[in-house]
Structure 1
Amino acid sequence: LLCGANANGHYWKQFVAGEFKQRRMVALSASDGHKLWARDANYKGRPITIGDRILAEPWSYNLYTGEQLMREHPLTGQQVPWSLMRTGHHCGILTGCDSGMLLFRSGDTAFYDLEADVGVQHFAGHRLGCWINAIPANGLVMIPEASAGCVCQFSISSTIVLEPRQPRREWSIHSAVGVNYPVESMFINFGAPGDRKDAAGQLWLSYPRRKAYQETSLDLALDLKESFRPNGGYTGIHDTSVKVLDEQTPWRYTTWAEGLDKFELPLLGPQDPPANYRIALHFTPDWREQAETSVFDVQVQGETALSDVTLTPSNTHGIAPLVFAIPSVQVTDQLRVELIAKQGEPRLSALEVQRLESPDR
């Protein structure tokens, strides 16, 4: 594979401006030297190969055909180019191994599981060097100290070795390109530290969205135009500090938007016809002793959809989440939701939006 690019990862501004669109890759047959394929690939850093795929940051291509790899957009369900976004400062390129693990710097040390394809995950407090110093071999990842002399200072300035373990707190940052509408489904986890897949493989997007340190054009941006009542905001607890009575996705109820007044979901574009959606709102009652009961109405598109929703403080056995479904709401552009507090403050942890089938689809 013939390719070329500067190894420095700072050139996002030039990438976004389209200055790398003519960067090419050429694949030659190892047996006779004949050209197999060639294409413009618009990559930012030097490509690497893992198995039968090329990682030409931020994209991925088939090694044997040059075809760009695609995946499903988490909101629209459309096929869009596979992408990877580093949210933090970085200099060096990607490295990886045949197991499908990528290693790189994204502010902190970061990794990506190509098989799970859940997004970029971070190992905080430590950084890779300015070049390639992560060595995956024999089931371990060895990272010799390589930050000395650089102006980027981190608390863990030493060699570290990572070994396999069971998944734990699998928060990540997912990226996607293309427009975010028309929405087929949207799963939001309010206040979460990152994106995460549930046991069924459904991706829950954190909100507010985590932004990259500079514009990359790869972030899955959302603006819900939310507003809070006084002293409201996003908050949460550590997922080990209290038991959540939901065996499948307890992490979904450890963060929430407290005192949320109203928000809007952009579901349809200017040229999209009206559509009907099913809505599910996930609430987390307060579990603390002598906490106040919350009572509120839920208005959707300006009309009351749920009356006197009551969140009674959970008992000492843990948090018992409450889920309220609204079977069908017609949307022409935005889905507008307002929480009318009567007593206490509502605590919205998660939101599901799913488009209903219509006769003309």
Structure 2
Amino acid sequence: MIEAVRSAMDVSMERDGDVVVFGEDVGYFGGVFRATQGLQQKYGTHRCFDAPISESGIVGAAIGMAAYGLKPCIEVQFADYVYPAFDQIVSEAARIRYRSNGQFTAPIVIRMPSGGGIFGGQTHSQSPEALFTHVSGLKVVIPSNPYDAKGLLISSIEDPDPVIFFEPKRLYNGPFDGHHDRPITPWSKHELGDVPEGHFTVPLGKAVVRREGSALTVLAYGTMVYVAQAAAEDTGIDAEVIDLRSLVPLDLETITTSVKKTGRCIIVHEATLTSGFGAELAALVQEQCFYHLEAPIARVTGWDTPYPHAQEWDYFPGPARVGQAMIEALEEQP
């Protein structure tokens, strides 16, 4: 995943001299996760550079650069650090096209490692995607594999409007093994797939069916795609697993087609239950598929508690919890 993200920025910078990359430690050091390693050496300090520890300043500068005509791809070191920049994102980046009547746009990408998996506790492990899906003018993307990470990031960089790009940390170095509620080591040994060299894009707003099935539909994104697939395999339930990829814009057509076919829907995400993006998904599915539903829509999520440190693998939705939700959904009678 890291190599794919780096390749996306490399390809974009090579094709377009207006693309610039900056943030905390992304230049000489190559980023805390090494996602930008080598870019400064290749493109110079004027196109890949370090920024002060000021998220508001990083995002604010990027908005000004974008209005001037550049295409900043910036890194917020952890998604948990984005809150000081929230006003800049919401009040400026998301609204500049509308406020200027199209005279200015904000073609910026804000990359953020999100979710748990490194025992980082409350300040390095949050999943705040729902905060941004609420804001008109922002696009929100969460890839689950290297191919999508590269293609979606290139699409995001080429998009004329601001994109919030979350990168699940548990997938950075080879995917989380969804069959286990907690790992022996932080990273799985399974392969995530090859990524083509050069330029290619994955369209924003298009979900994909990762596992076809007829018994029920599971909506997931990021790391939870693997958890959902593992739960289906562990239980033997013929579940259809949909990887949303983009939360905004949302591929409602793929979702509703699947739910109308299966009649049951489970939503899985790592963020907290209350006001998580799963609530919006549940409302949309209920509105669009009410007469096709044969069981209540279920959500399997993180707990409504401050993020734990040593107990983070109990906090994550694992295959046991997701599998139990699948079993209960099938026990419901229409």
User: Fold conserved (TM > 0.5)?
Assistant: no
Taking structure 1 as the reference length, what is the TM-score of the superposition?
Answer: 0.27
Taking structure 2 as the reference length, what is the TM-score of the superposition?
Answer: 0.28
Q: Which has the higher helix share?
A: 2
Q: Which has the larger radius of gyration?
A: 1
Work out which structure has the larger RCO, using CA pairs closer than 8 Å and 6 or more positions apart in sequence. Answer: 2
